[in-house]
Amino acid sequence: MYFSIIIPLFNRPNELDELLLSLCNQTNKQFEVVIAEDGSTLKSDKVVEKYKDKLSIIYFEKPNSGPGLTRNKGAEKANYEWLIFFDSDCIIPENYIENVTTFLKASSADAYGGPDAALTSFTPIQKAINYSMTSFFTTGGIRGGSKTLDKFYPRSFNLGVSRKAFDTLNGYGKMRFGEDIDFSLRLLQAGFKTSLIPDAFVYHKRRANLRQFFKQVFNSGIARIDLHLLHPGSLKLVHSLPACFVMGVAVILILSLFYPILLLLLISYSIIVFIDSLIKNRSIKVALCSIASSWVQLVGYGSGFISAFWNRLILKKGEYNAFEKKFYD
């Protein structure tokens, strides 16, 4: 069983270097690497040259179009029957390909996804963002790897799909944000089977700072409404919880002008996040950063959701995104 690993890339030569190095250490070498440079001004050709003798690499440049359509271009140049998509900010454990091969040989899955984790070498902010993206106390949870889900929606930072399924869907759609959920929804609607492979995890560096993280989650909130319009019935109550959180916080802040004791509710939430992160990360610094990243995630996602709900569903405006030129940030 051979795989084509496809990596959309935009101004990330240092991250690509780490990713390719991790691929060199795979215990199973039955794969090629397709790198699609998506209109980068900071190119990775010299990094690629370092690994030409160690990996089977296809490297090409294209005009900027965003990660979804860039993945499609990479798939066009891929040679094998299974496609694996990684984000450029991932580091791959050495037994990843081996674990995936073992699972797929015993499975009827047409596509799979895996969890993400944080390396000890990651910065406190990166570890905190990883915590908030996988924590029960934010919107994380299902990204981490629950085996109890009736349907699993793989995310493109770590997604594998058969060539047959990919071609049937004509690849990714034109969405610049939320394109991975759109892809997963269309997979399931077409009758393909998706699976979670808990052992196929990657180390995901995520955003380097909270400003970039806010942009990401704000657009994720907007994308959830766009997905609802594209796929009626896909919007669940859980998706609105961050918006409810934002409105609840606003009400508490207003009422606290008259009843200051209500601020204890917000303080209590921060304390819960701190204790939970401290237990999981065993670092006071990461736990403190986790308070900030959790607030950024909930407020950013919730605000984006409310903005899109008002503009798209109430005012009936067309599709839009904030920070459009920064969909890799």
**All domains of the chain in start order, with CATH:** 3-208 (3.90.550.10), 212-326 (no CATH)
Give the E-state strand segments of 79-220 in sequence order. Answer: 82-86, 90-91, 111-113, 116-117, 158-162, 194-196, 202-204
Q: What is the mean pLDDT of residues 230-252?
A: 94
Q: How confident is the model at residue 177 (pLDDT cuts 50, 70, 90)?
A: confident
More confident residue, 113 or 142: 113
- What's the whole-number average pLDDT of the chain? 92
64 backbone dihedrals φ, ψ, rounded to 5°: -65, 130
Q: Could you read off the pLDDT of 22-81 as tens digits, one per residue?
A: 999 999 999 999 999 999 999 999 999 999 999 999 999 999 998 999 999 999 999 999
Cβ–Cβ under 8 Å, residues 200 and 99: yes
Q: What is the mean pLDDT of residues 139-143?
A: 56
Distance set, CA 224 to CA 135, 235, 240 (Å): 19, 7, 9
Mutual angle of helices 284-308 and 124-134, in 10-degree steps: 50
208 — pLDDT class (breaks 50, 70, 90): confident
Q: Alpha-carbon distance 209 to 239, whole Å?
A: 24
Predicted pLDDT at 174? 87
250: left (phi over 0), alpha (psi -120 to 50) or beta: alpha
Does position 257 have pLDDT exceeding 60, yes or no? yes
Confidence of residue 142 (pLDDT cuts 50, 70, 90): very low
Q: How confident is the model at residue 321 (pLDDT cuts 50, 70, 90)?
A: low
Handedness of CA 208, 33, 323, 213 (dihedral sign): negative
